[in-house]
Amino acid sequence: MKFVPTNAFAPPVIEATVANAGTTNTTLNWSAVIGQTYEIRCKDDLTTGAWTFLATVTATNNPASFVDTGGHQPQRFYRVVIP
């Protein structure tokens, strides 16, 4: 038996492969509910500071996506949350 969440508040799951990682066009894809609003946040170092808000995205597809054009970072961590 496999559990498949069906409510609009199921936590998003970022795909294991991030397209164009380390470039100025890093693309995140995550599981989404169409019409649900998500916040994209990032950190360049997990040991310091708070998560930085990047954008609010309302899903129009599943998976949803976001392109981080904020500049080349040798290392960046992302999270997608339901506000």
Q: Are 36 and 8 in contact (CB under 8 A)?
A: yes
Question: 3-class DSSP state for residue 80?
Answer: strand
Work out how many domains the chain is built from and give that number.
1
pLDDT tens digits, one per residue of 21-63: 777 888 999 999 999 999 999 999 999 899 999 999 999 999 9
Based on its alpha-carbon atoms, the radius of gyration of the chain, rounded to whole angstroms, reads 13
pTM for this model (two decimals): 0.79
Which structural domain range is residue 58 located in?
Answer: 1-69+78-83
- Asked if pLDDT for residue 2 goes beyond 70, the answer is no
The domain spanning residue 56 has which CATH number? 2.60.40
